Amino acid sequence: MEKTPTPTHCPYCALQCGMNVVPLPQGGVEVAERPDFPVNRGALCGKGRTAARVLSPAVRLTAPLVREGGRLVEAGWDEALDRIAARLGAVRRRYGPDALGVFGGGGLTNEKAYALGKFARVVLGTSQIDYNGRFCMSSAAAAGTRAFGLDRGLPFPLEDIPRTGCVILVGSNPAETMPPFLRYFSELRENGGTLIVVDPRRTRTAEQADLHLAPRPGTDLALALGLLHLVVAEGRTDEEYIRERTTGWTEARAAAMAHWPEQVERITGVSVPELRAAVRMFCAPRAAMVLTARGPEQQSKGTDTVSAWINLCLATGRAGRPLSGYGCLTGQGNGQGGREHGQKADQLPGYRRLDDPAARRHVAGVWGVPPDSLPGPGRSAYELLDALGTDVRALLLMGSNPVVSAPRAAHVEERLRSLDFLAVADVVLSETARLADVVLPVTQWAEETGTTTSLEGRVLLRRRAVDPPPGVRSDLHVLRGLARRLGVRTGFPADPEEVFEELRRASAGGPADYSGITYRRLAEGDGVFWPCPEDPAGEGAGEGAADGRGERPRAAGAGEGTPRLFLDRFATADGRARFVPVTHRATAEEPDTDYPLLLTTGRVVSQYQSGAQTRRVAELNAAAPGPFVELHPRLAARLGAADGDRVAVVSRRGRAVAPARITGAIRPDTVFMPFHWPGEGRANTLTNPALDPTSRMPEFKSCAVRLEVLGPGGLGPRDPAGAGRLA
């Protein structure tokens, strides 16, 4: 057997750490360091190091399953695909194409996301497609687009972070969510730069900060406006930059001036001296950055909140300049690329808009269909899940586990159960797959080739390193098989490179232009930053402004694309960034006498998302065996709760039970739960599906709850909801 390591990337988060996959003498593979990849230089978190465990047939699906008499039983591929095609066809004949739903995921490669979007529009003819990325960074994407005319999470590479002067990190906890990323902050501080962390909890990330602001959940909008107010009041705006590179300042300024620091202190709980200190630190150096993640974004006002942070950058001249800017840290392995190539309800490949006639013509041309045949925009993720069993009667789900991860999850579970037909393609028998009528076992990262786009906007090649178990096939194979059975015989190749070649053409000329990127080019280097238009003279194209001086992409040899955006101009029609006037508003569900506390939710380092993959790895379960509720000692004393006591957290949606973890690192008015587990400790039983009006992002980061102390948890290992069990 070939014993050389295969260089590839982690299956989990958006950092897309480089790793080697190495064959073992006794068969199987393991993950090893890959020090030459610049982003993580060999460092991996525990999830990445143990990723090969999930390749084992012992923990994953190895044959299609079909429901017979209420039970899932093994079946052949033809039978499984025949059933799906027959049922989708029957629902379409009876109720029309929009009764067919498709739900995708930001963990899917670019090729899969592209093929899934095309499958929905061309084969099913449905508008009802969306994906879990809606739950992730959609608010930042909406705010970035309206300010800069383009949304690429980070408009600069991570290597710029240590060289800036100050970073405000808002609602992001990389110590748990991207451990190798922390090095960029330690280097920043070694170079004399400062780090400000905004988080209601004193996380392990916040502990590294020069200043930690701990606002009440859901008040980041007021906080950013308060900072902007002080920037104006202290004369720290950059008037020349505002004049030359922006529009809309007058209205945005007026909106900010209505938010007095004392009022902001009352709303957020962050004191005026702390606000002043933050402004001083942010404005002192010549360059500075604001980075946001899920904390400020997963709110029913997430888009306006991100706009407020962008306004702060624009007013101080800190966007579209070297070592300065606003960036959003995407989350899933292909969180960035997954939002560019057409699995989103309103979108066509290349980050084109589905309601733009020119975009429809271009993409329809590549697909060989009349533009009029493409459906219009459909429902957003939660709205789609909420419509299951009523307007949407059959669902094809690929790359998500909403029974655990969707807001108001008990309701979503009930909607999934009410479907006429559910098909799930997954690696493992997830909680959602257990509800399906047909389950398809698919290949994973190390068993297939494909591209992802990291949080830097860097397109990367994942390489096939090992053969999948017999009986397992790829998502692309699934889509090809279904398309054929539904009468579309061409246009759905199972070979990823062929799909990528088509994606290049479909994205050409769009905002996220990949046309100059090829597998060969990706294999030769450390990835290519989009946009990367094709060089008319040959393959290599789009070597961009790697020196930070901001030329537009230029066509010249095998370069790294466009690492830095906006240095000359923003991607708006007039080249200027737009201020958006925003004002603070309350969360959708403020505490009251019945539900006096705020619940916020998030992540721990050793579990990933709904836990479908990581709950199957013994080492990770040992480190993070189950859910818990973080609460402050004062709150615990008031309720009479001791550390480890079982507590019920009750919201208007339902009730979850988990052990108490008492810590001074959280605000006394707030409790925190990680969302990685199903069953009685499922945090999403509680969460509020109030949606942001622009991005349709649910409010995962705050809802009103009360606590009931149930008493000692008892000795011995608890097994809340099968948290530690392998499926």
Nearer to ligand SF4, 15 or 424 (CB): 15
Q: For residue 577, give every residue at least 6 positions away whose Cβ sits within 8 Å of its Cβ, in sequence order, or none.
A: 147, 148, 245, 246, 247, 310, 314, 319, 320, 566, 570
One residue of 144, 331, 333, 481 binding Mo ion per CB under 5 A:
331
Nearer to ligand SF4, 40 or 110 (CB): 40
DSSP class of residue 583 equals -
Handedness of CA 309, 312, 314, 319 (dihedral sign): negative
Should residue 16 be labelled a site residue for ligand SF4 when binding is judged by CB under 6 A?
yes
Should residue 446 be labelled a site residue for ligand SF4 when binding is judged by CB under 6 A?
no
For residue 42, the tally of other CB atoms under 10 A from its CB is 15
Handedness of CA 75, 79, 85, 89 (dihedral sign): negative
Could you tell me how many residues of this chain bind ligand SF4 (CB under 6 A)? 14
Should residue 48 be labelled a site residue for ligand SF4 when binding is judged by CB under 6 A?
yes
Should residue 47 be labelled a site residue for ligand SF4 when binding is judged by CB under 6 A?
yes
Q: Give the residue from 201, 493, 172, 221 showing the smallest Cα distance to 327.
A: 172
Distance, CA of 2 to CA of 23 (rounded, Å) = 8
Nearer to ligand MGD, 165 or 338 (CB): 338
The listed partner (ligand SF4, Mo ion, ligand MGD, none) that binds 201, CB under 5 to 8 Å by sort, is: ligand MGD
Should residue 147 be labelled a site residue for Mo ion when binding is judged by CB under 5 A?
no
Residues that bind ligand MGD (CB under 6 A): 13, 105-108, 132, 135-136, 170-174, 176-178, 198-201, 203, 217-218, 220, 293-296, 298, 331-332, 398-402, 404-405, 425-428, 430, 442, 475, 600-603, 605, 607-610, 612-613, 672, 675, 683-684, 687, 700-702
Nearer to ligand SF4, 387 or 459 (CB): 459
One residue of 8, 10, 116, 290 binding ligand SF4 per CB under 6 A:
10
The listed partner (ligand SF4, Mo ion, ligand MGD, none) that binds 10, CB under 5 to 8 Å by sort, is: ligand SF4
We find the least distance from the C-beta atom of residue 178 to ligand SF4, in angstroms, to be: 5
Distance, CA of 171 to CA of 166 (rounded, Å) = 16
Nearer to ligand MGD, 128 or 400 (CB): 400
Nearer to Mo ion, 80 or 136 (CB): 136
We find the least distance from the C-beta atom of residue 219 to ligand MGD, in angstroms, to be: 7
We find the least distance from the C-beta atom of residue 174 to ligand SF4, in angstroms, to be: 8
For ligand SF4, which stretch binds (CB under 6 A), given 43-51, 355-363, 414-422, 552-560? 43-51
Nearest residue (beta carbon) to ligand MGD = 331
The string of DSSP codes covering 318-333 is: -SSBTTBEEEE---BT
Burial degree of 711 (CB within 10 A; 0-12, 13-18, 19+): exposed
Distance, CA of 444 to CA of 7 (rounded, Å) = 15
Token code pair at residue 475: 């998502």
One residue of 5, 6, 8, 12 binding ligand SF4 per CB under 6 A:
12
Restricting to residues 162-191, which ones interact with ligand SF4 according to CB under 6 A? 178-180
Should residue 335 be labelled a site residue for ligand SF4 when binding is judged by CB under 6 A?
no
We find the least distance from the C-beta atom of residue 325 to ligand SF4, in angstroms, to be: 22
DSSP class of residue 295 equals H
DSSP-based helix, strand, coil % in the chain, nearest 5? 35, 20, 45
Distance, CA of 530 to CA of 511 (rounded, Å) = 9
User: Residue 29: in which H helix or E strand, if any?
Assistant: strand 29-32
Token code pair at residue 348: 């066509």
One residue of 21, 29, 45, 397 binding ligand SF4 per CB under 6 A:
45
For residue 410, the tally of other CB atoms under 10 A from its CB is 17
The listed partner (ligand SF4, ligand MGD, Mo ion, none) that binds 605, CB under 5 to 8 Å by sort, is: ligand MGD
One residue of 8, 21, 34, 44 binding ligand SF4 per CB under 6 A:
44
Distance, CA of 707 to CA of 714 (rounded, Å) = 19
Should residue 279 be labelled a site residue for Mo ion when binding is judged by CB under 5 A?
no
We find the least distance from the C-beta atom of residue 231 to ligand MGD, in angstroms, to be: 19
Q: Which residue has the tokens 């429902």?
A: 379
The listed partner (ligand MGD, ligand SF4, Mo ion, none) that binds 221, CB under 5 to 8 Å by sort, is: none
Helix locations, 119-208, DSSP H: 138-148, 174-177, 182-190
Distance, CA of 284 to CA of 165 (rounded, Å) = 8
Nearest residue (beta carbon) to ligand SF4 = 48
Cβ(143)–Cβ(325) under 8 Å? Answer: no
Restricting to residues 105-144, which ones interact with Mo ion according to CB under 5 A? 136
Binding site for Mo ion (CB under 5 A): 136, 331
Binding site for ligand SF4 (CB under 6 A): 10, 12-13, 15-17, 40, 44-45, 47-48, 178-180
